[in-house]
């Protein structure tokens, strides 16, 4: 019973979503939208699980003085501080203010956002180091890759026309023909693979939500 | 008396026969601004009974000058709606929402003289729907054909037919990668992407996680699964627990093997990057749906000297994984992984069905190319996305 109920639920909801794609009746459309809303509600509840897991993980690290346990203090303090300010800031008598902004807003704008931007900006350096490795000419394929990449890069910058005449036209051709053809091939394969997997899951042949394949 | 009658006549002429009587000025509900008080020489009427999804407006032209129509909705703030040429007498506002009440007024373009405010409610839209969405007939036919292929091969596999699937290097490397971590006495790190369980790539990733967890349980190797999405956390925990039970080592399972990091993309990335740099796992699996963080994580793992197996169907991230990881499951290989690893005949059958359907699709594409080249576009148009 414990195994059959999730399989039946999965089949019914999965089959309904497939059928709903082809049906325009408002009742079916509404029910389909409700299923999407249900996911948002379930995610909101699951977020509590996430916070509990986070707190347990770091508390255990601190208690056992595991490697880098001091980082866990910073993590838990940040979580506690932001949660406290977000939930109770308005209840504080004089209000928690840093400069001319509420403390929560200030921390979000001047601590969290720059940290996010810092992480994202790392990508530029990562691309440079990855490109350096990718463009090392070890064989014929790597040489073709490097030549194509150099032409495309020249075609993307105004000065490229002066270094290599017609680099814009050649780079457009590379992007719109061999590149797009390969991308579409992968895309069609991936879409078929996803549909095949969806059929396996709906039919209960594959049950990743229960720990793997069917018995 | 003469002017209101004239105004009403315009409404009737613009299709307002049987119209509801225009509700005249309601200055209290309208925003008061620096405009002159409503002019008694300037009349406006509104009607919503004739237009299926609009409100018809009619006004008395004033001295042959252009006018500006203004509209306010719930918040009573008037905003410009349309500028009308001198001599224009009517306008239909089709930018209304079904069932919403609006206020209208007319302003003379060269002065602040305004008409009185009138109120009208947009008609409730009569929804027309098709029970079966005919524009999706192409998708239905392809789906039925595809499902028939897959189910057919599943039934063949059930009857014991032997099915061959080509070797996938990335999946053959899974055992080797876990073995390496065991020999080195370091942990295996599994990142299931950053999307939730409603993404099919995450579902595929959970299947592979089950296999990896079973192997780490058998070898007694440490496993860590940090998560970005709380629903994936709950699913991954269940998958790993089940895998340890299946491997006969439930005592090796620890709750915080599968842990939660952050719902923010880059906070999660920072945590994983830190984990890779500080703890130097011997093996990293990056399998699921990834976005801008893919290369940051893969490069961090590469710099830490880990053997890395990646898999995604996100086209833009594939080159990053190919460059920074040892093995990459490209697109469909990710979805075939569970069948390939489990060697389950029923699942293998679905992969064979998928392959045959792919051959037929390639044939259809070639046929479409030939027909389109000869100017016959009907076939291509039928399969065009709608």
- In this predicted model, what pLDDT tens digit does every residue of B279-288 receive, in sequence order? 999 999 999 9
Nearest to A193 among B233, B264, B354 (CB): B354
* Residue to test with chain B: of A196, A202, A207, A209, most B Cβ within 10 A: A196
Nearest to A22 among B136, B214, B333 (CB): B136
CA gap A74, B271 in Å, rounded: 13
Q: What are phi and psi of B243, to 5 degrees?
A: -65, -40
CB < 8 Å to A78, chain B: none
In 3D space, the residue among A89, A55, A60 whose CA is nearest the CA of residue A75 turns out to be A55
Give the count of Cβ contacts less than 8 A between chain A and B: 209
Q: Which residue has tokens 């409700």?
A: A34
CB < 8 Å to B335, chain A: 190, 193-194, 196-197
B22 in Cβ contact with B120 (< 8 Å):
yes
- Residue B379: which H helix or E strand, with range? helix B378-383
* Residue to test with chain B: of A17, A38, A46, A52, most B Cβ within 10 A: A46
Cβ separation A212–B211 shorter than 8 A: yes
Least confident interval from A19-23, A152-156, B94-98: B94-98
pLDDT at B9 over 60: no
pLDDT at B11 over 50: no
CA gap B191, B167 in Å, rounded: 24
CA gap B263, A119 in Å, rounded: 15
Residue B27: band (very low, low, confident or very high) from pLDDT cuts 50, 70, 90:
very low
Closest residue in chain A to residue B247, using alpha carbons only? A211
Percentage helix, strand, coil for chain A under 3-state DSSP, each rounded to 5: 80, 5, 15
B328 in Cβ contact with B321 (< 8 Å):
yes
What contacts 24+ positions apart, CB below 8 Å, involve B319-323?
A: B319/A134, B320/A130, B320/B294, B320/B295, B321/B286, B321/B290, B321/B294, B323/A130, B323/A131, B323/A133, B323/A134, B323/B298
Q: State the greatest distance between any 2 C-alpha atoms of chain B, in Å, as a whole number.
A: 100
Q: How far is A10 from chain B (nearest CA, A)?
A: 12
C-beta atoms surrounding B133 within 10 Å:
17
- B319 or B113, which is more confident: B319
Residue B128: band (very low, low, confident or very high) from pLDDT cuts 50, 70, 90:
low
Residue B7: predicted pLDDT: 44
- Mean pLDDT along residues B308-325: 95
Q: Where are the beta strands (DSSP E) in chain A?
A: 97-98, 101-102, 206-207, 212-213
Q: How far is A164 from chain B (nearest CA, A)?
A: 25
Cβ separation A189–B351 shorter than 8 A: no
Burial bucket for residue A118 (CB in 10 Å: 0-12, 13-18, 19+): exposed
Closest residue in chain B to residue A59, using alpha carbons only? B256
Domain ranges of chain A: 1-91, 135-207
Residue A63: predicted pLDDT: 96
Question: B20 to each of B7, B205, B303, how far by Cα in Å?
Answer: 14, 61, 75
Burial bucket for residue A43 (CB in 10 Å: 0-12, 13-18, 19+): middle
Helix, strand or coil for residue B102? Answer: strand
CB < 8 Å to A26, chain B: 127, 129
Length of chain A: 215
Nearest to B331 among A119, A190, A208 (CB): A190
Please list the alpha-helical segments (H only) found in B84-198.
Answer: 137-158, 169-184
pLDDT at B36 over 70: no
Domain ranges of chain B: 2-121, 163-343
Q: How far is B160 from chain A (nearest CA, A)?
A: 16
Nearest to B299 among A129, A200, A201 (CB): A129
* Residue to test with chain A: of B98, B200, B243, B330, most A Cβ within 10 A: B200
- What is the DSSP secondary structure assignment for residue A93, as one 8-state letter? S
CB < 8 Å to B239, chain A: 208-209, 211-212
Nearest to A57 among B256, B263, B324 (CB): B256
Residue B19: predicted pLDDT: 36
- B67 or B307, which is more confident: B307
Residue B24: band (very low, low, confident or very high) from pLDDT cuts 50, 70, 90:
very low
Least confident interval from A50-54, A172-176, B8-12, B104-108: B8-12
B86 in Cβ contact with B61 (< 8 Å):
yes
A197 in Cβ contact with A14 (< 8 Å):
no
Residue B101: predicted pLDDT: 85
B190 in Cβ contact with B224 (< 8 Å):
yes
Please list the alpha-helical segments (H only) found in B220-264.
Answer: 230-246
Residue A168: band (very low, low, confident or very high) from pLDDT cuts 50, 70, 90:
very high
CA gap B187, B306 in Å, rounded: 10
- What is the DSSP secondary structure assignment for residue A203, as one 8-state letter? T
CA gap B209, B285 in Å, rounded: 9
CA gap B174, B307 in Å, rounded: 10
Residue B114: predicted pLDDT: 81
CB < 8 Å to B296, chain A: 119, 122-123, 126
Residue B13: predicted pLDDT: 39
Percentage helix, strand, coil for chain B under 3-state DSSP, each rounded to 5: 45, 15, 35
Give me the interface pTM, i.e. the ipTM. Answer: 0.91
Q: Considering chain B, what is the average pLDDT of its residues?
A: 85
Beta-strand relationship, B79-84 and B188-191: unpaired
Nearest to B266 among A22, A24, A116 (CB): A116
Q: State the greatest distance between any 2 C-alpha atoms of chain A, in Å, as a whole number.
A: 72
pLDDT at B28 over 50: no
Nearest to A188 among B266, B338, B361 (CB): B361
Closest residue in chain B to residue A202, using alpha carbons only? B147
Helix, strand or coil for residue B308? Answer: strand
In 3D space, the residue among B212, B230, B231 whose CA is nearest the CA of residue B222 turns out to be B212
Cβ separation A49–B295 shorter than 8 A: no
C-beta atoms surrounding B144 within 10 Å:
10
Q: Quick one: tokens of B342? A: 């489990």
The 10s digit of each residue's pLDDT in A112-149 is 999 999 999 999 999 999 998 888 888 898 899 999 99
- What is the DSSP secondary structure assignment for residue B313, as one 8-state letter? -
B122 in Cβ contact with B55 (< 8 Å):
yes
Least confident interval from A90-104, B90-104, B213-227: A90-104
Percentage of chain A beyond pLDDT 70 is 96
> In this structure, what is the dihedral angle of CA atoms B336, B339, B343, B347, given to the nearest 10 degrees?
-130
Beta-strand relationship, B223-227 and B188-191: parallel
Question: Residue A77: CB partners within 8 Å, gap ≥ 6?
Answer: none
In 3D space, the residue among B79, B135, B127 whose CA is nearest the CA of residue B99 turns out to be B127
CB < 8 Å to B339, chain A: 200, 206
Architecture of the domain delimited by B2-121: Sandwich (2.60)
Distance of CA B19 to the CA centre of its chain: 43
CB < 8 Å to A195, chain B: 143, 146
CB < 8 Å to A209, chain B: 197, 203, 206, 235, 238-239
Q: Quick one: tokens of B383? A: 């399969």
pLDDT at A7 over 60: yes
Cβ separation B342–A39 shorter than 8 A: no
CA gap A186, A188 in Å, rounded: 6
Q: CA A124, B283, B289, A187 torsion: positive or negative?
A: positive
C-beta atoms surrounding B371 within 10 Å:
14
Q: Considering chain A, what is the average pLDDT of its residues?
A: 90
Q: Quick one: tokens of B119? A: 């109120």
Percentage of chain B beyond pLDDT 90 is 54
pLDDT at A16 over 90: yes
The 10s digit of each residue's pLDDT in B59-102 is 876 666 788 888 888 667 888 888 888 778 888 888 888 778 88
Question: Residue B282: CB partners within 8 Å, gap ≥ 6?
Answer: B180, B181, B184, B186, B187, B188, B306, B307
Nearest to B233 among A50, A201, A211 (CB): A50
Of the candidate CATH numbers 2.40.50, 1.10.1740, 1.20.58, 3.40.50, the domain formed by B163-343 belongs to 3.40.50
C-beta atoms surrounding B17 within 10 Å:
11
* Residue to test with chain A: of B141, B202, B207, most A Cβ within 10 A: B207
CB < 8 Å to A56, chain B: 255-256
- Mean pLDDT along residues B132-161: 90
pTM of the model: 0.78
In 3D space, the residue among A32, A77, A200, A155 whose CA is nearest the CA of residue B340 turns out to be A200
């Amino acid at each position: 019973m414990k195994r059959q109920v999730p399989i039946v639920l999965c089949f019914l909801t999965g089959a309904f979503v497939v059928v709903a794609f082809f049906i325009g009746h408002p009742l079916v459309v509404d029910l389909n939208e409700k299923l999407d809303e249900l996911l948002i509600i379930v995610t909101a509840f699951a977020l509590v699980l996430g916070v509990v897991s986070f707190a347990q993980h770091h508390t255990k690290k601190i208690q056992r003085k595991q490697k880098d346990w001091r980082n866990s203090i910073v993590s838990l303090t940040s979580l506690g501080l932001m949660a406290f300010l977000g939930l109770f800031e308005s209840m504080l008598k004089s209000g928690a203010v840093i400069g001319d902004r509420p403390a929560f807003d200030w921390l979000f704008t001047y601590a969290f956002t720059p940290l996010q931007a810092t992480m994202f900006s790392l990508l530029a350096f990562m691309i440079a180091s990855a490109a350096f490795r990718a463009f090392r000419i070890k064989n014929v394929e790597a040489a073709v890759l490097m030549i194509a990449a150099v032409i495309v890069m020249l075609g993307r910058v105004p000065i490229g026309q002066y270094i290599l005449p017609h680099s814009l036209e050649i780079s457009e051709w590379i992007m719109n023909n061999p590149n797009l053809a390969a991308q579409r091939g992968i895309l069609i394969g991936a879409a078929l693979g996803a549909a095949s997997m969806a059929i396996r899951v709906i039919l209960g042949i594959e049950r990743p939500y229960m720990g793997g394949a069917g018995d | 008396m003469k002017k209101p009658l004239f105004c009403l006549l315009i409404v009737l002429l613009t299709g307002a026969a049987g119209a509801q009587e225009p509700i005249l000025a309601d200055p209290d509900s309208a925003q008061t601004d620096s405009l002159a008080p409503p002019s008694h020489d300037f009349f406006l009427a509104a009607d919503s009974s004739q237009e299926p999804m609009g409100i018809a407006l009619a006004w008395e032209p004033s001295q042959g000058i252009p006018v500006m129509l203004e509209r306010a909705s719930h918040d009573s703030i008037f905003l410009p709606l349309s500028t009308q040429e001198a001599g224009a007498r009517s306008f239909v506002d089709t930018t209304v929402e079904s069932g919403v009440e609006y206020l209208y007024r007319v302003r003379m373009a060269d002065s602040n003289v305004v008409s009185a405010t009138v109120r009208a409610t947009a008609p409730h839209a009569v929804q027309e729907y098709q029970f079966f969405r005919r524009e999706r007939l192409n998708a239905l036919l392809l789906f039925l054909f595809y499902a028939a292929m897959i189910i057919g091969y599943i039934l063949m596999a059930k009857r014991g037919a032997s099915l061959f699937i080509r070797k996938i290097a990335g999946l053959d490397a899974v055992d080797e990668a876990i073995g390496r971590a065991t020999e080195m006495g370091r942990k295996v790190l599994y990142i299931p992407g950053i999307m939730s369980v409603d993404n099919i790539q995450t579902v595929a990733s959970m299947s592979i996680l089950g296999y990896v967890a079973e192997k780490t349980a058998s070898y007694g190797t440490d496993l860590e699964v940090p998560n970005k999405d709380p629903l994936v956390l709950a699913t991954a925990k269940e998958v790993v627990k089940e895998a340890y039970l299946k491997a006969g080592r439930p005592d090796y399972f620890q709750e915080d093997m599968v842990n939660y990091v952050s719902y923010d993309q880059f906070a999660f990335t920072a945590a994983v990057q830190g984990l890779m740099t500080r703890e130097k796992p011997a093996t990293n699996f990056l399998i699921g749906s990834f976005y801008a963080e893919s290369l940051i994580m893969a490069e961090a793992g590469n710099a830490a000297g880990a053997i890395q197996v990646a898999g995604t169907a996100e086209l833009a991230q594939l080159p990053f994984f190919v460059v920074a990881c040892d093995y990459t499951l490209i697109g469909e290989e990710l979805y075939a992984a569970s069948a390939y690893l489990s060697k389950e005949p029923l699942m293998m059958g679905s992969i064979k069905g998928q392959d045959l359907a792919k051959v037929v699709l390639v044939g259809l594409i070639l046929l479409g190319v030939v027909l389109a080249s000869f100017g016959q576009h009907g076939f291509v148009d039928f399969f065009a996305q709608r």
